[in-house]
Structure 1
Amino acid sequence: MKLKKYPWLLAGIITAIIFLTITFFRHENVYAGGVITSGDLMTQYTSFFQYFRHVILGNHSDFAYSFSNGLGGSMIGNWAYYLLSPLNFIVLLFPASKITIALYTIIWIKVMLAAGSFCYAIQKLTKLTSTLAITVSISYALSSYTIFYMGNLMWLDAIIFLPLLILLTHKFAVGRQKPIYSIILAITILANYYTSYMIGLFLIAYFIYISFLKFKTWKRFLKNLAYFVLYSISGVLLTLFIELPTLLNLKETKLSTHYAITNYSIPKLLFNLPSNMLFGASNTQLPLIYTGSLVLLLTIAYFFNIHIQIREKLATLALLLFTCSGLLSNKLYVLWHAGQPPQSYPFRFAFILNFLFILVACYQLAKQQLTKRQVELTTIILGILFIISAYIRHKNSINLAWIISSVCWILIATVTYWFYTKKKINSIWLLIITILEISLNAIFSWHSVIPSSYENYTVETQNLINKLPATAKNSRLEKNFLINQNRGESYTFNYRKLSNFLCK
């Protein structure tokens, strides 16, 4: 099999290698002795997946019960939110003491699949060449959202399935229905109902967007809409066996508790946003929408492309505004988060923004045209964004090297793309600069204290438990020392614990 015939596969392999390299230099490559410090991997997921192994490997009676979850409350909501991803079976291939390696492997495979699915979908949507498709796929799979939130691995399924659902939604909008849409939608919902809700909002908007651009007659539009709605409902119905009990469970727990709405300052947010769009983006309190300087350049250039109809550009702008609506209104921010403002990790729908920015960049890239007028206007916009970013970063005492690096990567991306459009260099150079920029940003924008090794901790704790008398092991035990708030240790070390699970 020749890889060049399967660019989506090559995109996955290249992304996998880059991810291993990035996490190695960030001391997060678990294969090399690192520890993932982003997201809630060490504070929640070690517990959840130890419980997952415990239930699947024979203790089926514990599927819907936890002693510390409401003194016997249902666990169905936790399964639906955390544990139904199709790739979770990988955990079963590792012993309990190697749970962090298992979770890292899942993340690694998901990032690889995200690149592959985007590459496959974008070639169908825009007819990009293989090299260009691989280039933008790497930007998508290794965006700042993925890098900083990879520890929340249940959100990564949405990044995998979103490109495929968009491709199938596009087919519905032009009258080519694909029944597999219902199945992929159902898998997306089962993997994580929370992010699938966000995807659902975007799919509706995207269907309207393509229907507008491809509109011929009202009769045809209504027919396509009917099929889209029918297959969407079918996909939802396939998940009711788990989502209906989950909804009832949520009504008794999270949905019965009303958190204060986060009243962030919209003007301040929008003013600070450019600092998270350029090289050096690392502010997790802002939307994580960094996808590389080349994508940013192409996205802006699209709106100044004279070969693209005004009607199309206005429709694309409307889609962008809809997707960015959570940044423009506190109420819409809450709406994008399913009615409950997140208590941490704000702007969780940013992965959809990243997808749309790259999609628009691909529209520009497919034209392979760049006029002097485009360069002038795009440079002005990029200059304004850079000045704002430099001010914000200086205000926040960001190293001067980051500010200089930002403008350097913008210039490199602009010059490289200009020469590419003039056919003076090959598209491979766009791939090379994208890999370098995305990788360096991921490596050097991360600052964290490396926690203790989970594997070392399990060895030390197991030795301690082995020294206990046999009579003690027949009783319930409780430890007052933990690593990273892990509450699933009874499943790791096979002892009876008083409070054997923590529900967050």
Structure 2
Amino acid sequence: MLDSSRKRAEVYIIPFFITAIMLFVIFYKVGIYPFGERSLLIWDLRWQYIQFFSWFKQVLTGGGNLFYSFNAGMGNNMIGLYAYYLASPLNLLILFFNDIQIFVLVLTILKLALAASASAFFMRNRFSSIDNIWIIVLATCYGMMSYSISQKCNLMWLDALIMLPLICLGIYRLIMQNKKTFLFISVLVMVVCNWYMAYMCCLFSVVYFFFELFCTDEKKKYIVTIVKYGLTMLLAVMSSMVLFLPTAMNLLQGKGIESTTDYTPGFHIGIKTLIKGLLPGIRMQKAFGTESQGIMLFCGTFVLICAAAYFLSKRSLKEKILSALVLSFLVVSATFIPLENVWNGFRKANSYYCRFSFVISFFIIYLAAAYLEKSVKFFHKKWFRSIVCMWVCVELLFNGYSIVRSYAPIEGHAYSVYDEQQKERFAGFDISNSEFYRTEQASPAGEDRGANYLGVFNEGLQYGYHSFATYTSTINSALTELYHKCGYHDYYKFMQYNEPLLLTDSLWGIRYIISDHTIEGCEKDTDAGVINGKSVYVNPYALNLGYCVQGADIENIEAENPFEYQNKILSTLTGEDIECFKRVDAQKTVLEDGDEFQIKVPKEEHILYGYIDHVIKDAAQTVIYINGDPRTTYSRVTSYKTFQVDDPENSDIATVAIKGNLSNKDELEGVFYYLDMKEFSSAIDKLKTKMFQVEDYGEGKITGTYTAVEDNEKLMLTIPYDKGWKIKCNGETVTADPSRTFTVLQVKKGENKIEMTYVSPGFKEGFVISLLAILLFAIWQKAEKKVRRSEDV
């Protein structure tokens, strides 16, 4: 008995260590940091996830709030971000790591090794007659399949690889043994870990449930079993509402409200690409995007051979027909665009094509296991097993190495140096709990300025400063609209800060700007020193967190360009007709390789700004030159929009040129304005006379006073409106205007003490629903046990 238990444990443990060792060898040979100069930090892992991990560590160590942070997008509900990116219990390991790259490496190995163990657990309990050696081989193939390796940059998705086999085992136990607890717990854990991948797992579970159900011959129990499955799944999802409900409410202001999905019939890839995805050593394309990445289905040629042999085996015809139908449906889902959109959550995935292809690989491995359970005799010979094991190991190592090596940027130690320098910079900031200000960076992390994701989107979360920029899947859509109208950027999926716009920077309270170049209108802080080639610039015009406004209806302002829009914003807030930005005419010259604009420099004290209109965002390599010096790549979707135009040293004519691969250079228009510093300073001084005074604040809470001269004055706090804020004014509960982008309060004459605390909307209600669902499941289970006991008697 003891010996049997030990052997069962070994079949789960051995695939774990084989997978872990293989990954370690691959990372070592590729030269992944700390073994070399290459890095696992690519794409969203580099520009989003490591910042989120750093923030999560701050939360765990008492330096942050799980519900809210001022360090992203001027203030953001964080529950949705936590639920999508960080809810996996394995992320708690971040507490033991100071080097984020080593944490990512360890977490990747751990998750894929656990996926191998979970699949071994499934196969051992689903296929009772299969030899342990084949379970170990198939489980290792599952942990090392192409999907696993290629999606190492999406760490939060890898939990689905662990939980999918457990969910399928729960379904099998429900059908065959009428046991529901394992399925209930598995689905609940999956939804909590990552609701997005849980959706795909649950969708596959429906397919798998009917597959297993129809493979049985107990037709009389079909209806009862279907009801039990449906109730178990429903109660499991309801039990996750403590996290899922506030997340869903948060998503309503972010990517969750996209409605541009195209369901026009068509195929994403052809047969050739599909077959290519089944082969080993297929490298990911370096070009980023849905169409460029193909499909990753490879899980071992031995697996593919066994899966094919399954359809020629002596298993029942009904089972093989059902298997063929399931496999066909999954393959069509991966290629037929409308079905693919359904699997993606009824939306088009703009990157990482076929995110659910792991379920296809899982089912292929399932078919291989079904064949090996009743395989031919020579499969039991030691020489054959030895050859297969060696073949599989070499093949998986080759495949894994090819994928990892295909795109592992050479920046491992370079990023570590950058990280340490950034920590030094922001650790030196004097942060007081009675003074609130925002900080931004006008210098990219990458060398190619403005060309691509520059790594400063979420560094506020990473290094603990109050940031304007952010890039998450739960971004505030009302705020991004305002941000785009102001002229910071054109792309709707993130808020990127590259060059200051002094007027709106001041309105939004951006006091400090970290930059490797001079910031016009700001004062260089020489005491802060130069770190990583960057200095600190102080904006003397930056307003406090809140101030009195005459009007707050900035959402409905329409203007022909960002500069006129900013004029109208300032006019609305002050109640006066103000024109701080004034147009400057430019003379356009069409060049052989682009366009050049000549601008007459104003005589007034000013800052000159501009942007080029009608530039096609097609990733072509076009560059903006200011007075002959390159400033930024301008035609990428991630390139910023408005730029400062420096005054030339020995001329009263400034030049702006755009050069590169321009197919429509005759259509381009230069839009140039100067900020009249005298009018701007006068307007800001008026707003500074009646400001909100912060007394104390932390993440998700703020206390301060505002003294009103008259009744019904409007106080605008530049905190994005969110109904999660509970606000008290002089001890009485008040509500902010829900139609406004920012938090706008109407206050009475005299001193107003304002206290604000934040709880994510839906959290309390979700907690109650979760408790009730768990209680209902427990009562159901107890009632069934009681019925079974009475029947036995």
Q: TM-score range by the shorter chain?
A: 0.7 to 0.9
- Specify the code of the residue in structure 1 equivalent to 2:385: S
- Specify the code of the residue in structure 1 equivalent to 2:445: L
Superposition pairs of residues 46-445 of structure 1, within 5 angstroms: 46-61=50-65, 63-66=67-70, 68-69=72-73, 71-95=74-98, 98-127=99-128, 128-218=130-220, 220-261=221-262, 266=267, 268-283=269-284, 285-305=293-313, 307-369=314-376, 420-421=378-379, 423=381, 425-445=383-403
Paired position in structure 1 for 2:467: 498
SS at match of 2:325: helix
Shift in alpha-carbon separation, 1:224–1:489, aligned structure 2, 3 A = same
**Counterparts of 2:115 and 2:189, CA distance in 1:** 15
Paired position in structure 2 for 1:459: 420
Stretch moving more, 35-44 or 201-210: 35-44
Shift in alpha-carbon separation, 1:263–1:278, aligned structure 2, 3 A = farther
Stretch moving more, 456-465 or 291-300: 456-465
Superimposed CA distance per residue, residues 343-362 of structure 1 (whole angstroms, 9 cap, x where no aligned partner):
10010000100100111111
Paired position in structure 2 for 1:485: 455
Superimposed CA distance per residue, residues 459-483 of structure 1 (whole angstroms, 9 cap, x where no aligned partner):
33345557x6869998654332325
Superimposed CA distance per residue, residues 266-301 of structure 1 (whole angstroms, 9 cap, x where no aligned partner):
285223211111122224622210111111111111
TM-score (norm 1): 0.82
Conservation of the 8 A alpha-carbon contact between 1:20 and 1:29: no
Shift in alpha-carbon separation, 1:465–1:350, aligned structure 2, 3 A = same
Conservation of the 8 A alpha-carbon contact between 2:263 and 2:338: no
Conservation of the 8 A alpha-carbon contact between 1:276 and 1:283: no
**Counterparts of 1:122 and 1:310, CA distance in 2:** 22
Superimposed CA distance per residue, residues 119-165 of structure 1 (whole angstroms, 9 cap, x where no aligned partner):
11111112321211110111101111111111100000000011111
Residue 23 (structure 1) shift: 1.6
Q: Does 1:18 align with 2:19?
A: no
Higher strand fraction (1 or 2): 2
Superimposed CA distance per residue, residues 81-107 of structure 1 (whole angstroms, 9 cap, x where no aligned partner):
111111110112223xx1222222222
Shift in alpha-carbon separation, 1:9–1:449, aligned structure 2, 3 A = closer
Conservation of the 8 A alpha-carbon contact between 1:175 and 1:224: no
SS at match of 1:54: helix
SS at match of 1:40: helix
Shift in alpha-carbon separation, 1:269–1:30, aligned structure 2, 3 A = farther
Superimposed CA distance per residue, residues 361-419 of structure 1 (whole angstroms, 9 cap, x where no aligned partner):
1111222228xxxxxxxxxxxxxxxxxxxxxxxxxxxxxxxxxxxxxxxxxxxxxxxxx
Conservation of the 8 A alpha-carbon contact between 2:68 and 2:77: yes
**Counterparts of 2:264 and 2:40, CA distance in 1:** 31
Shift in alpha-carbon separation, 1:37–1:102, aligned structure 2, 3 A = closer
SS at match of 2:299: coil
- Is the radius of gyration larger for structure 1 or structure 2? 2
Conservation of the 8 A alpha-carbon contact between 2:41 and 2:101: no
Shift in alpha-carbon separation, 1:64–1:270, aligned structure 2, 3 A = farther
**Counterparts of 1:14 and 1:333, CA distance in 2:** 33
Shift in alpha-carbon separation, 1:234–1:265, aligned structure 2, 3 A = closer
Residue 5 (structure 1) shift: 4.5
Higher helix fraction (1 or 2): 1
Conservation of the 8 A alpha-carbon contact between 1:39 and 1:152: no
**Counterparts of 1:200 and 1:261, CA distance in 2:** 23
**Counterparts of 1:302 and 1:471, CA distance in 2:** 65
**Counterparts of 2:463 and 2:348, CA distance in 1:** 37
**Counterparts of 1:426 and 1:4, CA distance in 2:** 22
Residue 448 (structure 1) shift: 2.5
**Counterparts of 2:138 and 2:93, CA distance in 1:** 28
Paired position in structure 2 for 1:397: none
Shift in alpha-carbon separation, 1:171–1:264, aligned structure 2, 3 A = same
Stretch moving more, 333-342 or 263-272: 263-272
- Specify the code of the residue in structure 1 equivalent to 2:246: P
**Counterparts of 1:275 and 1:137, CA distance in 2:** 23
Conservation of the 8 A alpha-carbon contact between 1:47 and 1:488: yes
**Counterparts of 2:236 and 2:309, CA distance in 1:** 37
Superimposed CA distance per residue, residues 183-239 of structure 1 (whole angstroms, 9 cap, x where no aligned partner):
221110011111111111111111111111112232x22222222122211211110
Shift in alpha-carbon separation, 1:469–1:302, aligned structure 2, 3 A = closer
**Counterparts of 1:29 and 1:108, CA distance in 2:** 14
**Counterparts of 1:358 and 1:159, CA distance in 2:** 13
Shift in alpha-carbon separation, 1:38–1:132, aligned structure 2, 3 A = farther
Residue 38 (structure 1) shift: 4.7
Superimposed CA distance per residue, residues 157-176 of structure 1 (whole angstroms, 9 cap, x where no aligned partner):
00001111111101112243
Shift in alpha-carbon separation, 1:343–1:104, aligned structure 2, 3 A = same
Conservation of the 8 A alpha-carbon contact between 2:87 and 2:192: yes
Gapped runs of 5+ residues in structure 1? 371-419
How many residues get paired?
A: 448
Conservation of the 8 A alpha-carbon contact between 2:19 and 2:140: yes
Greater RCO, 1 or 2 (C-alpha within 8 Å, sep 6+): 1
Shift in alpha-carbon separation, 1:360–1:461, aligned structure 2, 3 A = same
Paired position in structure 2 for 1:35: 39
RMSD value, Cα: 2.7
